[in-house]
Structure 1
């Protein structure tokens, strides 16, 4: 098939939306499809939008989100229509549905997202201060995007259920397929088995924390988790990558701060891979998270993923299968005690780590994602599944 992958930002750039469009693009190419990237460029804002934003903020301390304005999306649609009509693909895969709202091209389009506009409101901190105008526009254009889409694929049932409950949409259009690990090189299973065995002999539990936003990603709770394990007699360290939080002096002995490591810089990518290899588990108890591809990445290395049961995280982490889910009302110390019971019984840890890798192989990779997506396209067209 000839397929367009479109996103705000170059879909063939690993930095765009955490690399998800890039890995979808590469998985499609691997399957033998002809893939074309469309970078949806932000139009210039008219001067009066700058004025609107200042007025709304000064009077109401609210944020006007210009990306949800019809003017903005109609400009995006003009470019989108032009490029799709020039390529004339068999299928369009679009990251984020509102960009479809004012398009006119006729090709089947699958929208891919990890949440809906309605669901993100008041969930992430940045979306707690939107103007009523932006909320009204956002819901309207998201509805238009779903109306135009052939199918909408969400990374979790949490997001799919929002599409069904917040918007008027045919349930047959809505599908759940978890994203995969954003990794260019997949660790070989033989290597993973050896790494798991090496961890069993380690005298320290190294918990890998990967995140730019220390607070939203649950950094303070991760630190309390590690402090509690040390109190219990399990020597533990929190290895922090992506941010440089201010750690209290009394807790610095339990922390390694490594700063930001870029996947697209070879030596930094090698350092990051070495951290996955040497870690005992990924620890990222996010307060708000729509999915979390990093949990899938951890599983690829045979690392159990430890996260909080919020948003779409429970689609990535299955309790006791490929990791543990911290309950919303559970103290980090209680969560640490649950982990301690696993670590004290190395056979239980080994089984959990091996199961984590199986979850990656069977469910949490982009080959599986693309196979399911292409099957959905065939069903929506009323045809047998298209060749994978």
Structure 2
């Protein structure tokens, strides 16, 4: 079986990625690497050239002018049908020279207009339409034309593909309900971590033994303070210290938004670029020495940080929103709380678990086991390979 892995991004050159693309493209790159290891033959096709019709250019100019004058609406150039039809033409030309048996994409949109004789498969976090309301930092408030185009891209891709694999039960359910997709061609396979990992249980036990017993360190990782629930994490750490429970919050990826000066028990690390060796080592150290990852998200699919935390034996505290319950199994690799959970609920769980050393160690080791058995690329790629074989 030969697989053609398609992407319109320059996936194999991380140095060319924009900062806001790193999470998404990091997952796609590790997806590519894992499938390359699992499949006998895999061919990478990309990047593609983004080309716009004159009509699309004029439409984009119109909305740019409107936005400057009064409108807060967002126009999504990338969702224009002309752009995606052109991507399809480029892919069809390249695929005509390929002997691939199956076409694989980490993006739904690339399959929307693609016409090829081979079966097509997508493995992604969610439909775009399913997450627009929860990702204002990415989608803003789309103009009606863009919303229509995005929805149509999802619909066409899901209708045309042979198999749609999602990384969470929530995303799969959303696709079926929004687009009446045949449930038999929708599967759920969680993805892995966006960093190399050769850690063993012995390493995890060593990390746990070196974590402080005098002060509890909570780690927050995210570029969007509000959507990732940074304000909730801040309230939790304040409450814990009010209760005389010595603890600190380490913030990675963004600057906290607070009306008051940040207390001394909050450390802001800023953005850490893990594609550099120095950034990678700094982030790994934080995962090793922290006691809990805290991410009370108001909007998320399957956050990479949760999977990465498990790979370090770091339990995660998050919400029952979106795909998060697929990643976090209560008392196995952390706990999910209701979106409206009181701050005291987080505090009670943290204090109770931290103060019981046996309970904490068991949870931390179990978190690593969840990574080993469910949340890693090797396991996922083997499962995807079996599904690909069934499509031929």
Give the counterpart of 1:215 among 226, 233, 244.
226
Q: Is the 8 A contact 1:296 1:364 kept in 2?
A: yes
Match of 1:6 in 2: 6
Q: Distance in 1 between matches of 2:159 and 2:307?
A: 31
Match of 1:34 in 2: 41
Instruction: State the secondary structure of the residue aligned to 1:161.
Output: helix
1:62-92 residue CA offsets vs partner (Å, 9 max, x unmatched):
2222222211111111112122222332222
1:43 aligns with 2:54: no
Match of 1:363 in 2: 374
Match of 1:306 in 2: 317
- 1:171 deviation in Å? 1.4
Distance 1:270 1:222, change over 3 A: same
Match of 1:386 in 2: none
Instruction: State the secondary structure of the residue aligned to 2:133.
Output: coil
Match of 1:172 in 2: 184
The TM-score with structure 1 as length reference comes to 0.92
Distance 1:202 1:13, change over 3 A: farther
1:185-207 residue CA offsets vs partner (Å, 9 max, x unmatched):
332221111111222x5311111
Q: Is the 8 A contact 2:254 2:271 kept in 1?
A: yes
Distance 1:121 1:348, change over 3 A: same
Match of 1:384 in 2: none
The TM-score with structure 2 as length reference comes to 0.91
Q: Distance in 2 between matches of 1:145 and 1:32?
A: 24
Q: Distance in 2 between matches of 1:243 and 1:210?
A: 8
How many residues end up aligned between the 2 structures? Answer: 380
Instruction: State the secondary structure of the residue aligned to 1:283.
Output: strand
Q: Distance in 1 between matches of 2:322 and 2:339?
A: 11
Distance 1:248 1:204, change over 3 A: farther
Give the counterpart of 2:204 among 189, 192, 198.
192
- Which is bigger in relative contact order (C-alpha 8 A, separation at least 6)? 2
Q: Is the 8 A contact 1:186 1:300 kept in 2?
A: no
Distance 1:250 1:97, change over 3 A: closer
Q: Is the 8 A contact 2:3 2:42 kept in 1?
A: yes
- 1:258 deviation in Å? 1.3
Instruction: State the secondary structure of the residue aligned to 2:193.
Output: coil
Residue correspondence of structure 1 range 1-388 to structure 2 within 5 A: 1-14=1-14, 15=17, 16=22, 17-31=24-38, 33-37=40-44, 38-44=46-52, 46=54, 47-54=57-64, 57=67, 58=69, 61-125=72-136, 126-127=138-139, 129-199=141-211, 201-247=212-258, 251-381=262-392
- 1:59 deviation in Å? 6.7
Bigger mean CA offset, 54-63 vs 253-262: 54-63
Unaligned ranges ≥5, structure 1? 382-388
1:320-367 residue CA offsets vs partner (Å, 9 max, x unmatched):
211111211112232122221111211111111111011000000011
Instruction: State the secondary structure of the residue aligned to 1:67.
Output: helix
Q: Distance in 2 between matches of 1:88 and 1:65?
A: 34
Q: Distance in 2 between matches of 1:291 and 1:132?
A: 27
Instruction: State the secondary structure of the residue aligned to 1:240.
Output: strand
Unaligned ranges ≥5, structure 2? none
Q: Distance in 2 between matches of 1:168 and 1:272?
A: 41
- 1:250 deviation in Å? 5.1
Q: Is the 8 A contact 1:5 1:11 kept in 2?
A: no
RMSD: 2.0
Q: Distance in 1 between matches of 2:389 and 2:43?
A: 20
